[in-house]
Amino acid sequence: MEMTAGTNKSLPSQRVNTGKNQQTTQMHYTPHNMATVAADAAASVHASAHAGPMNDAKAKTVLKEAVDAVVNSFAKHTHGHGRVNVVEALQEFWQMKLERGADLTNGALVVYESQPATTPPFVCYVSLPGGSCFGSFQICNTKAEARRSAAKIALMNSVFNEHPSRKITDEFIEKAIADAVTSFQGTTSDAENPSTGIGAFKFMLEANRGRSMLEFQELMTVFQLLHWNGSLKAMRERNCSRQEVLAHYSHRALDDDMRSQMALDWIAREQESPDIIANELEVAEKDLEGARLAGRELRFYKEKRDILVLALSQISPNGETIA
């Protein structure tokens, strides 16, 4: 079974225009500034997290206030005044990280993706250089507003990710494993056994010591998709050990080949269970929307949606795979 040229169908991507006709603002980044901004970000998020019981409306208000506080802090420490073009700022933030030696395999380009729509509300997603994805978290009446909303939440998370509390350290690993043992009613011996879920989690944390939580989340997305797709179960049935699977996929980027293979898996399931893709896609769309409006990192939800859309595009109305 082969995927056709249509395999590469995807939503149109728009890249930040850095041409001469665009007004730019010189930003002054220093490690001290970024540490200060990250501290402010942590304080804002901490205050939001302790705002007491919240309904959906209050949660949205608190999220907006936290995002605005971080963006304003960023503007104050990098510009010296209170206004900032968040789309430019997000791009220049990642350019600064690249220039300071960050390991960005594909460069510092921030990519925006607008959902096709002719009437409001408009939705926009933004993918960061490492792969993390965020989306417009507000109801937006214009495409430009949606892009700014996506850039705001991405800038907030990018800045907050610089805070020391977001780095994977020995202390962080110890606490995370203790929490996992409690949550899953495991034992300390489970953490030392790589064949257990807790042991695998510890293995992954230790392999990523020194990285940030955003970087770790990007790796976890691959394993979340493998689990959702049934690939991990299939590997266990072939007697692959957890360590073998972790070692292989820890260095495997989520690329078009992996997406295409997962789409093929869903096409095979469709032949056995008609409408399974459409049903799964409906759930994925709802999950993606809920996570987007909550201001969460979206790559897992969006990749699921995109893989299912890709699979559906390869099936003709009578259920046959397009050759």
Q: What is the pLDDT of residues 204-255, one digit of tens each?
A: 888 888 888 888 888 889 989 999 999 888 888 888 887 788 888 877 778 8
Q: Given pLDDT bands bounded at 50, 70 and 90, which one contains residue 58? A: low
The verdict on 10 and 147 lying in the same domain is yes
pLDDT at 141 over 80: yes
Containing domain of residue 133, as a range?
A: 5-165
According to DSSP, residue 225 is labeled H
The verdict on 153 and 184 lying in the same domain is no
Q: Given pLDDT bands bounded at 50, 70 and 90, which one contains residue 322? A: low
pLDDT at 32 over 70: no
d(CA 115, CA 132): 18
pLDDT at 51 over 90: no
Q: Beta-carbon neighbour count of residue 174 at 10 Å?
A: 13
The verdict on 13 and 145 lying in the same domain is yes
The verdict on 177 and 146 lying in the same domain is no
pLDDT at 89 over 80: yes
Out of 82-96, 229-243, 282-296, the most confident range is 282-296
d(CA 167, CA 155): 18
The verdict on 159 and 67 lying in the same domain is yes
Half-sphere exposure of 144 (CA within 13 A, CB side): 2
Q: Beta-carbon neighbour count of residue 96 at 10 Å?
A: 17
Q: What angle do CA 23, 156, 53 make, to 5 degrees?
A: 140
The verdict on 198 and 257 lying in the same domain is yes
Higher-pLDDT residue of 46 and 317 is: 317
pLDDT at 29 over 80: no
Residue 200 domain-assigned?
yes
Residue 125 domain-assigned?
yes
Q: Which residues are CB-contacts of 89 (< 8 A; sequence separation ≥ 6)?
A: 27, 71, 74, 75, 78, 151, 155
* Mean pLDDT confidence for 122-140: 94
pLDDT at 26 over 80: no
Q: In the prediction, which pLDDT does 24 show? A: 35
The verdict on 134 and 283 lying in the same domain is no
Q: Given pLDDT bands bounded at 50, 70 and 90, which one contains residue 98? A: confident
Q: Given pLDDT bands bounded at 50, 70 and 90, which one contains residue 76? A: low
The verdict on 9 and 149 lying in the same domain is yes
The verdict on 46 and 144 lying in the same domain is yes
Q: What angle do CA 233, 237, 242 make, to 5 degrees?
A: 65
* Mean pLDDT confidence for 33-51: 50
Yes or no: say if 65 and 91 are a contact pair by the CB < 8 Å rule.
Answer: no
Which of 6-15, 87-96, 279-288 has the lowest average pLDDT? 6-15
pLDDT at 22 over 50: no
Residue 323 domain-assigned?
no
Can you say how many angstroms the Cα of residue 188 is from the centroid of all Cα atoms in its chain?
Answer: 31
Residue 57 domain-assigned?
yes
Residue 149 domain-assigned?
yes
Q: Given pLDDT bands bounded at 50, 70 and 90, which one contains residue 161? A: confident
> How much of the chain, in percent, has pLDDT values that exceed 70?
73
pLDDT at 38 over 70: no
The verdict on 232 and 267 lying in the same domain is yes
pTM metric for this prediction: 0.74
Among 135, 165, 195, the domain-final residue is 165
Count structural domains, the chain: 2
